[in-house]
Chain A
Amino acid sequence: MKTLLIGASALALSTVAALAEYPERAIEVTIPAPAGGGTDTSARKLATLLEEELGTSLAILNVAGGGGSVGVTQFMMDKPNGYSLLATWNSPITTVPQVQNVAYDVDSFTPIASTSETAYTMCVSPDFPAETGEEFLAELAANPGKYTYGNDGIGGTMQMAAERIFQAKDIEAVAIPFGGAGETLQNFLGGHVDIYGGSISPVLPYTDSGEAKCLVVTSAAPVEALPQAAGLEELGLGSEETLLWRMVLAPAGTDQAIADRLAAALEKTVNDPSYVEFLATKGEVPNVVTGEALAERLRNEYDALAKVAEKLGLGS
């Protein structure tokens, strides 16, 4: 009993010490995607800045598969000691659980901070009979089942973002899932699908050349790079915003002091001019939401997408 007490107090002491001196060793960052993807490059770039800010090294571990669920599931087994972090985009947390049977849910984490975000866009060819976001949705609504739209995969965030808008406007369009925005773009440019649905940066060269007319973005506000595209606020759908965004999470039960320390470090590094510039090359903007506000952001998105998924007949 005595040894147990000593052991316990020693443990308590060491925890206090760890807090005071956190971080005192390398932090492992799990990225639930293969090396080289959007989340990976963003996180690696951020890690170099964070290393300086925190004064410790960050070890990146890419665990790919299952649309992110493999990496997140593996991350769930890590200890909540502040030395294991997850750098992910929103889909594995808010979208994938709608369609897959996963062992975690939106509340299984200690939220640290969101980092950056970008909207999805929907574009059509120059001869499509609409010039504004409003006309675009009206044309789709008037012709149920006539138009096809390419997206990043069934049950993916892009499809959810589109269907959220379509369901609000009683639009019926045929979803054609592709392997990613590049493949969608290829099929859109070749005229095999009517609407490009995907992230903004791949389609940008073609809006400049006039081969694509982007009419809607899935953010509430319009996007500067796509002047012709309407934001959802303008279309009266401000509450239906769905973005692609990135965040850092810790395992549930992580000490609040550590979480705050990390959130402060992230707030500073994400807004570092060099990082903002890096984000701009990928069409992303910084947006740091921390702590409980981040938990709420996740929960709201999860609930909204659950409704969309249910109407679509997807679901685990």
Chain B
Amino acid sequence: MDIVTQVLSGVFALGPIAAMIGASILGVFIGALPGLNPVMAIALLLPLTYSMEPLVALGMVAGIYNGSMYGGAIPAILLRIPGTPAAIATTFDGYPMAQRGEAARALKIACWSSALGGTASAIALMTIGPILARATLAFGPAEYFWIAMFGMASIGVLVGTDAAKGLMAATLGLLLGTVGLDQLSGTARFTFDQVWLLSGLDLIVILVGLYALPPVIALAEAADLKGLSAAQLKLEPAKVPWSEVRSLVPTWIRSSLIGIGVGILPGAGGNIAAFLSYNAAKSASDDPDSFGKGNPVGVAAAECGNNSDNAASMIPALTLGIPGNVIAALVLGALLIHGLQPGPQLFHQNPGLVGGFMVQMLLTSLLILAVGGAAATKIFAQVQRLPGVMLVPTILVLMAVGVYVINGRVIDLWIMFVAGLAGYVFEKTNIPLAPIVLGLILGPMAEQNVRRALLISRGDVTELVTRPISAVIALATLGLILFPIVAAISRRRRSA
């Protein structure tokens, strides 16, 4: 009971409440603006909260994260531009609905689905999270190595249609991850005698460059665009009848479970959750052909899927210290900055804070209903009218400030710039960006842990697979790699 009081008194204080509400509104705004994304917003704003209470920083993260996942649906439905990568699947049915004059209805369904998905996910975080936390002490270097391998294998399976490009991107990420002082031998790798390379390439610097700069360049390319006319933004209030709400329930349940599952997996994100839920809804439907032509179920599946990934992605981050996605990585950074080591001791040492963050993930999901309601959606839709000529310099300045603040080094601005130009080229050539980032995160994790495990076992390789947990994860990894191959072979047999 003591913990409950501690959690609630922490969350329901002026600072955290204001942070959650402000950040939720900001999150919807950021999601709605193509070119702004939650990763960038959180990376930019987090350093500004370092001197504040941790729950203010975490409330802000929760608000932006949940708000933006819904916000991305607004331009996806109105303009067929996904406001965030996770909103790609929302365009499939959302935009046809808008064209039929049902934009308001689509937005309302998106809003409810986002809130429900987020809520389900937060509940999973609260219930499965603490249980996992107690079990995670059994995870040693050998287990972490296999988790990293599983994450890498899932990139290979889940990413894009062009496997070669996905592999190229992942390899690039792995290569970048080797730069800097080797943690286990103290040897400098690929540093070319540059002191600033000793600590390696900063993940957030690379991320901001890769993800934020290409859309800014794209905005600049279309800078003569004046935005939308007011007439295009006229939204009639829409009523969604109860019968329709009831018909969406199975979709919400299915999509929430898929989103939570994907969230726990390191290496997959909201965009994958949305795609998988969309596909699942389509294959479960009596009328799969209606998908892609303005079926509200498609909107519900995609939006519920991408929001239910959110809180669940924090489970491995908070309990194992493994970021399931980029935002979880940022949250980990924020916790470390406040002197908190993610992992089982986090619950032991600071249950008020961890519990508080979980409650914040739940509350900000529900806040989507308030800030994303019909009226607010209408206002947020006006953001689309901001002309690119104003947006581009504003975003660039924000990016530069955010990146500089991380390490106080000018060189990071150059790294960001180079990463951004590379990201632009990659996007133009259809090379996916996610495997680069995941390679950068998972590569060092896999390498360091396999070497630690071998140090502990005195070089005995069999110990990597004879420990029960590592054996299970190793088999799962193998299955993940073999499944598509087996499926492809059996498909070929059947068609032959």
Contacts and interface: CB of A to CB of B under 8 A. Distances in A.
Contact of B141 (A38, A62, A66, A187): A187
Contacts of B338: 36
A192 B141 contact: yes
A180 B184 contact: no
A66 B341 contact: no
Contacts of A101: 193
B337 A35 contact: yes
Given A183-B321, A186-B137, 8 more contacts: A36-B337, A64-B199, A64-B406, A66-B199, A70-B407, A176-B456, A182-B341, A182-B345
A154 B183 contact: yes
B198 interface: yes
Q: Give the one of B136, B139, B407 with max A CB within 10 A.
A: B407
B288 interface: no
B408 A100 contact: no
Contacts of B348: 205
B193 A155 contact: no
B409 A205 contact: no
B184 A100 contact: no
Contacts of A180: 341
Closest 5 CB pairs of A and B: A182-B341, A36-B337, A192-B140, A66-B198, A65-B199
Interface in A286-311: none
22 contacts: A34-B407, A63-B407, A63-B408, A65-B196, A66-B196, A66-B198, A67-B181, A70-B198, A70-B407, A100-B181, A100-B198, A148-B456, A177-B183, A177-B184, A179-B183, A185-B345, A186-B137, A186-B321, A186-B341, A189-B344, A192-B141, A193-B456
B195 interface: yes
A61 B406 CA distance: 11
A130 to B, nearest CB: 21
Nearest to A187: B140
B343 interface: yes
A36 B408 contact: no
A144 B415 CA distance: 46
A69 interface: yes
A154 B185 contact: yes
B407 A154 contact: no
Interface in A199-254: 202, 205
Interface of A: 34-38, 41, 44, 61-67, 69-70, 73-74, 99-103, 145, 148, 153-155, 174-183, 185-187, 189-193, 202, 205, 314
Contact of A153 (B183, B321, B349, B408): B183
Contact of B341 (A63, A70, A193, A202): A202
Contacts of A44: 51
A192 B406 CA distance: 33
A70 B197 CA distance: 9
* Most chain A beta-carbon neighbours within 10 Å: one of B186, B336, B337: B186
A103 B349 CA distance: 40
Contacts of A183: 321, 341, 343
Contact of A186 (B196, B344, B408, B455): B344
A89 to B, nearest CB: 15
Nearest to A72: B195
B385 interface: no
Interface in B360-413: 406-409
Contacts of B339: 36-38, 41
B47 A35 contact: yes
A205 B408 CA distance: 35
Contacts of A174: 455-456, 458
Interface string B314-352: 000000010000000000000011110111110011000
B417 to A, nearest CB: 18
A73 B195 contact: yes
Contacts of A62: 407-408
B487 interface: no
Contacts of A187: 140-141
A118 to B, nearest CB: 14
B1 interface: no
Contact of B345 (A65, A148, A202): A202
A187 B140 CA distance: 6
A65 B198 contact: yes
Contacts of A202: 341, 345
- Name, among B50, B141, B195, B407, the residue most crowded by chain A CB atoms within 10 Å (CB to CB): B195
B195 A190 contact: no
B183 A70 contact: no
B138 interface: yes
A70 B195 contact: yes
Contacts of A34: 337, 406-407
A44 B455 CA distance: 38
Contact of A314 (B186, B336, B349): B186
Contacts of A193: 456
A155 B186 contact: yes
A163 B181 CA distance: 21
A61 B405 CA distance: 9
Nearest to B341: A182
Instruction: Give the most central of B140, B181, B184, B349: most A CB within 10 Å.
Output: B181
Contacts of B456: 148, 174, 176, 192-193
A70 B409 contact: yes
B440 to A, nearest CB: 16
A36 B455 contact: no
A73 B184 CA distance: 24
B260 interface: no
Contacts of B321: 183, 186
B254 interface: no
A190 B456 CA distance: 13
A44 B348 CA distance: 27
A213 to B, nearest CB: 17
B473 interface: no
